[in-house]
Amino acid sequence: MTATDTVLQASNVTKEYPSTDPPTPGITGVDLQVAAREFLAVMGASGSGKSTLLQVISGMDHPTGGQVQISGHDLTALGDDQASRLRLTTIGFVFQQAYFLRNLSIRDNILLPALKATPRRKVQVLARVEALMARFGIADLADRAITEVSGGQLQRASICRALVCEPEIVFADEPTGSLNSQTTREVMDALTEVHADGTTLVLVTHDPTCAARAERVVYLRDGRLDAERTLGPWRPATARDREGELLSWLTGLGF
């Protein structure tokens, strides 16, 4: 794997939360590489540091130590403006709770980052927003307020927003954490499509069924990378087998 193929490169990353006494170690000495167009799942027990890892490698948070590079940019060295530009154009986020601006409609929430990135190309940007919403099945909800749609629909809107600036990498932290099994499948189908389109995807999840869609799974224990397993490309036909394989691996790790 050459350097250009690597979208994300984290070396010896540590994050401590100084607000507690003694400081809580979030993650400790994590090394992680994510290749372009890869689909990586991060698993681990509750409190093992999954969210912390995701926040640090995605630029939402600064690490206490170590280095993070995304598309060749050293996150720890970027200024406020450059970092925000990177989040805007190169990175997409999907969170467990679908965080939206409550004063904007679904369409406007999706439109916002795109319009900010290219304010003078509104016509093209709007067309892309409509296309995305149509593709993820929420076109008829465009003018609704965020309080007027279901959790699964909101999460699909989140995916649209994450994709609207055509990012290189999308980070998702338990995007299905508060959804039922039916909507979980819909959202996972959507994310799988995103990956199939060539977007690099890092997914934090509790759910082995979701993780089974990934090409590679890493396992966190007490803030450290404990194990890793490569599953290869996902196909609906082999879904059951992969799940079983992943489950027995996880059971072996004490999950």
Partner 1 sequence: MSNAGLAVRYVRSDLHTNPGAHLALTALLLLSAFLMATGAMVAERLVGSIDRLFEIAEPPDFLQMHRGDLDHAALDAFAAEHPEIEAWLIEEMLGFDGAAVGWQHAATGASGDLADSVMDNLFVTQNQEFDFLLDAEGAVPQPAPGQVYVPVAYQQSYDLAVGDRLTVRTDTGPHQLQVAGFVRDAQMASSMSSATRFLVSEQDFEDLEAAGGGAPEHILEYRLTDGASAGDLQRAYEADPDLPKNGQAVTIGMIRLLNALGDGLVAVALVLGSLVLVAVAVINLRFVVRGTLEDEVREIGALRAIGISHRQISALYLGKYATLTLLACAAGGALAVPATAGLTQAMQVNYAAAPAGAATVLVPVAALGLLGTLVLLLCRQALRRVGKAPVVGALVGGSMLSERQTARRARRGAARARRHRLAAYSGTRVNTFLARLDLRADLRQWALVPVVFALLSVLMILPMNLLSTFQSPRFGTAMGAPEADLLVDLQFSPDLEDTRTGLLADLERDDRVTEVSVLATELREVPGEDGWETLRVQVGDHHDAAVQYLHGRPPGPGQVALSVLNAQRYQLAVGDTLPVRPAGPVSSTDQASPAVVSGVYQDLTMGGYTAKLPGEPNPRAAGYAIYARVTEATDPADLAAEYADRYPTASVIQMAEYLDQTMSFVTSSFRVAAGLALAFALVVAALISALFLSLQLKRERQRMGVLFAVGFSRREIVTQMRTKALAAVAVGVLGGTVAAAAGGQHLVDGVLVAAGLGITELRLFPQAWLVYGVYPALLVGVGLGVSVLTTARIRSAQMSRWLRG
Ligand X SMILES: Nc1ncnc2c1ncn2[C@@H]1O[C@H](COP(=O)(O)OP(=O)(O)OP(=O)(O)O)[C@@H](O)[C@H]1O
In the complex, the residues that contact ligand X under the rule CB under 6 A are 17, 19-20, 24, 26, 44, 46-52
Residue nearer to ligand X on the CB measure, 200 or 205: 205
Please report, to the nearest 10 degrees, the dihedral formed by the alpha carbons of residues 97, 210, 129, 71 taken in order. Answer: 100
Angle at 158 (CA atoms; ends 219, 166), nearest 5 degrees? 85
Of the residues 35, 36, 45, 115, which one makes contact with partner 1 according to CB under 8 A: 115
Radius of gyration of the chain (CA): 18
Beta bridge partners of 31: none
Residue nearer to partner 1 on the CB measure, 36 or 88: 88
122-181: contacts with partner 1 (CB under 8 A): 126, 143-148, 161, 165
Of the residues 93, 200, 211, 219, which one makes contact with partner 1 according to CB under 8 A: 93
Binding part of the chain for partner 1, among 90-98, 211-219, 225-233, 247-255 by CB under 8 A, reads 90-98
Minimum distance from residue 60 beta carbon to ligand X (Å): 12
Residue 58 tokens read as 């995605």
Residue 246 tokens read as 């992943």
Residue nearer to ligand X on the CB measure, 70 or 220: 220
When CB distances are held under 5 to 8 angstroms depending on the partner's kind, the choice from partner 1, ligand X, Mg ion, none that residue 143 binds is partner 1
When CB distances are held under 5 to 8 angstroms depending on the partner's kind, the choice from partner 1, ligand X, Mg ion, none that residue 117 binds is partner 1
| Residue number with the smallest Cβ distance to Mg ion | 51
Q: How far apart are CA 182 and CA 88, in angstroms?
A: 31
Q: How far apart are CA 36 and CA 211, in angstroms?
A: 18
Of the residues 39, 95, 136, 219, which one makes contact with partner 1 according to CB under 8 A: 95
For the four alpha carbons of 95, 101, 104 and 110, in that order, the dihedral sign comes to: negative
User: Judging by DSSP bridges, how do beta strands 91-94 and 169-173 pair with one another?
Assistant: parallel
